[in-house]
Structures are given as structure tokens and as C-alpha cells.
Amino acid sequence: MTRQTLEIWVGVFVAAGIAALFMLAMKVSNLSTVNTGDTYEVTAQFDNIGGLSIRSPVKASGVLVGRVSDIKYDKDYNVAVVTLSIQKRFDRFPSDSRASIYTAGLLGEQYIELVPGIEETYLEEGSDIIMADSALILENLVGRVISEIISK
Amino acid sequence: MLSYLNKIADNFGPLGKKGIVSFERLGRSALFLLRVFQSIPFVFLRPWLFIQQLYSVGVLTIIIIFVAGTFVGMVLGLQGYNILVRFNSESSLGTMVGLTLVRELGPVVTALLFAGRAGSALTAELGLMKTTDQFSALEMMAVDPFKRVIAPRFLAGFFSMPLLAAIFSAVGIYGGYYVGVYLLGVDDGAYWAQMQKSVDFHEDFMNGVWKSIVFGFVATWIALFEGYDSVPTSEGIGRATTQSVVNASLAVLALNFILTALMLETS
């Protein structure tokens, strides 16, 4: 085998390897959907966040507009403080928007749905969402239904 | 009384010797690695040696990786579909195939195949070189065998393992795609969308790449050391080749557990 053919084969190998890495990164992993743009952060207090976790999606009308960037427990008020990183290009959420924790499907992952309000001022860096609905805990619902059945 | 003690000592002697020998080899392998590291800068002076090794270690391993990847992916597609269809969730087939390949099977199976295909060849090659006194001949000519022979092979193995693992995963995902989407009728868009939704770039993809880098390092190290340290007889080469594949496979499997535990810890 001549030196040139050997070099060609090695070149093909390296190119195939890099192409595979690239394919895995772009087509298989979520790199292409990770928002790289600027974000602004708003906070919301929930009594119960259920299974919400950092990097959970934040959606408006079902469209991904940001992600949960931090979850803390406020020991003075005994609530969970969730920080939402919303992409800068979605900067027209009225300041009285409502944040609710929903579940995708019956057993799917939990996400925050933003429902726009009617105020003419908008959410911006550091603002606080006042209206926040806790997660619906399936066990609680089932428990309530059962206790109702029993009390009848 | 003394004869009894002697008898006991005679039985325990070989056991102790075995222990000492294995520690000795462990120490030698560490020193071996150190010398390889010292010689690596010299490879950049003669890149042709590296390219030659990249051919025999990387290019020649592609075929087995390609075939194995396709079939592993196809089996994952088939098995995954049969399980998921019971829960009416065959649309998450992409998630299953993608995550299994990128996180576990890609790096691990590639490393096992790599140890069998490339590692054994490296061991046998070095073993024969040692048996025929080629290392001594090189040293006689004031050529350091570490710089000339071992370091290029080490770099080639280290470099080609991540690429091979990536090829394995990519091919496997298409294998699963073929079975799932073409043969069994999973929705085309759902396959890719579900996969993209659940395979995280940092936590899944990069962890897989890190694993393959570590496996490449360890498998090449073991293969080269077993060859370099082999008993210079034809029997010795045979034993060294077997040992190389066995040890590299075991090391990869054990390391895989440790790495997975570490990575799950941090995420």
C-alpha cells in the first residue's frame, strides 16, 4: 500500500469519526435546541413544586420560551422560590402573568406554563410573578376523591 | 513439627510469589506509562509514524465497529419496540435507542471490540518484536523504541477510540431507525424528536465521549504493556495476547461502573 492511499484512508476515518460526533451532537442530543441567546430571570413562589427540577421547560401557549434555572426554599415564608430564565426575545409577558406547574401527559415531566395577564407593564429582569399555581399532585387528588367517596 | 511448618510454607510460598509478581507488574506498568508519556512529544516530530498506526489501529477497526453498531442498533430497535408497544409508547423508541447507545453501549461495546481487534494486534506485534530482539536492535542503533514504536501506537489508540465510539453510536442509531421506522412503523418525526428531547448534550453526549476517551487510554495502555512485558517465547506471546484482551475488557467494564457512578453523582 502506498503512502498516499494509507493517508487517504486515515483521512476518511478521521472525517467519518468527526462526522459521527457532529451528528450525535446536533441530531441526537439537544444541543441544537438549547437556547444560547440572552435570557432574563424572573422568580415565582410556589407552595409545592412537585417534580419540577432545574432545566425543566418554561412554556407559553405550549411553546418553549425558557427554562427553570434555580430552585430554592425560602425558610422565612416556607415556600419554594423558582427562578425562570426566559429568552430575551420573549419580553412581552404582562407583569400580572400567571405561572402554573403542569405535567406533560399524565405521568410525563413537569413544566411551567406562563399564562399572560392584561397589565401593560411587562416582566423584566428580577421581577416577581405573584400569581403562581402549585403543582397538581396526583396522590393528593386521588386521596381527595377517595375521601369524598367514603364520606358519601 | 518443623517439617510440618515447612510443608505449610511450601504451599503458601507460590501464593505469595504470585502476589509479589502481580504488584511488580503493576509497578512496571505504571513506569511504562510514565516512559510513554515522556516519549509522546517526539511523535510530533515524526507524524508519519502516527498516521501509519492510526491506519492499523483505527481504519482497520472501522468495519467491525460498523457492522456491530448496525446490528446492536437494530436489536435495540426491535427489543425496545416490543416492550414499548405494550404501553402504547413506541414513539419513545428514539429516546431508548439514543440514550442506551450514547451513554452506555457505544463506549463500552466499542472498547470491548477495540480490545479484541486492535488491542490484541498491538500486543502480538510488540510481543513478537520483543521475542525477535527488535527492541534491543533499535537500542543498539541508538533509537529509543518508546519514541519510535510505542508512543505512536499509544497516541493512535488514544485518538481513535472516541472516533470509533462515535461511529458506533451514530451507526447504531440509524440501525434502530431502520428497524423502528421502516420495518415496524414508528413515526419518523417522533423518533428523532423524542431522542433530541431526552438526550442532553452535556449530561449524556459528553459523558459518553469522556468514557470513550478513558477506555481508549486504558485499553491501549494494557495492550501495549502486555506486549512489551511479555515472556519472549512463542507461548509467551500467545499468553500475553490473551491477557491483553481479558484484562482490557475487565478494566473497561469495571471502569464503566465507576465512571457512570461518578457522572450520575455530579449531574
Provide ipTM, 2 decimals.
0.80
CA-based nearest residue in chain A for residue B106? A24
Q: Is B25 exposed, middle or buried (0-12, 13-18, 19+ CB in 10 A)?
A: middle
| Cβ-Cβ contacts under 8 Å, B48 against chain A | 3
For B199, which of A7, A9, A29 is closest by C-beta distance? A29
pLDDT in tens, B95-124: 899 999 999 999 999 999 999 999 999 999
Instruction: Determine the straight-line distance between the first and last CA of chain B, rounded to whole angstroms.
Output: 62
For B163, which of A9, A14, A27 is closest by C-beta distance? A14
Interchain pair B173, A12: CB under 8 A? no
pLDDT in tens, B123-180: 999 999 999 999 999 999 998 999 889 999 999 999 999 999 999 999 999 999 999 9
- One-letter amino acid at B85 equals V
Mutate to test the interface with A, among B61, B66, B93, B196 (most CBs of A within 10 A): B196
| Cβ-Cβ contacts under 8 Å, B166 against chain A | 17, 20-21, 24
CA-based nearest residue in chain B for residue A28? B196
Mutate to test the interface with A, among B89, B205, B211 (most CBs of A within 10 A): B205
pLDDT at residue B266, rounded to an integer: 60
Alpha helices in B141-233 (DSSP H): 145, 151-177, 188-198, 207-228
Q: How far is A59 from chain B (nearest CA, A)?
A: 15
pLDDT at residue A63, rounded to an integer: 86
Rounded-to-integer distance, Cα B110 and Cα A150, Å: 59
Residue whose entry in the numeric block shows the C-alpha cell 441544537: A32
CB B84 within 8 A of CB B186: no
Phi first, then psi, for residue A112 (nearest 5°) are: -100, 130
CA-closest candidate to residue B26, choices B216, B179, B222, B215:
B222
Q: How far is A3 from chain B (nearest CA, A)?
A: 9
Q: How far is A18 from chain B (nearest CA, A)?
A: 7
CA-based nearest residue in chain A for residue B92? A108
pLDDT above 60 for B267:
no
For A25, which of B167, B195, B205 is closest by C-beta distance? B205
Average pLDDT of chain B, as a whole number:
90
pLDDT in tens, A23-54: 888 887 776 665 557 888 899 888 888 878 77
Interchain pair A29, B205: CB under 8 A? yes
Interchain pair B160, A32: CB under 8 A? no
- What contacts B159, CB < 8 A, 6 or more positions away? B54, B58, B216
Interchain pair B196, A17: CB under 8 A? no
pLDDT in tens, A70-82: 889 988 988 899 9
CB B150 within 8 A of CB B36: yes
Q: How far is B121 from chain A (nearest CA, A)?
A: 18
pLDDT above 60 for B12:
yes
- B75-105 b/e with 16+ CB inside 10 Å = b? ebbbebbeebeeeeebbbbbbbbbbbbbbeb
For B55, which of A10, A23, A32 is closest by C-beta distance? A10
- CA dist list (Å): A47 to A77, A99, A131, A135: 10, 12, 11, 8
Interchain pair B163, A7: CB under 8 A? no
CA-based nearest residue in chain A for residue B194? A28
Rounded-to-integer distance, Cα B97 and Cα B177, Å: 9
Tell me how far the alpha carbon of residue B19 is from its chain's centroid: 26
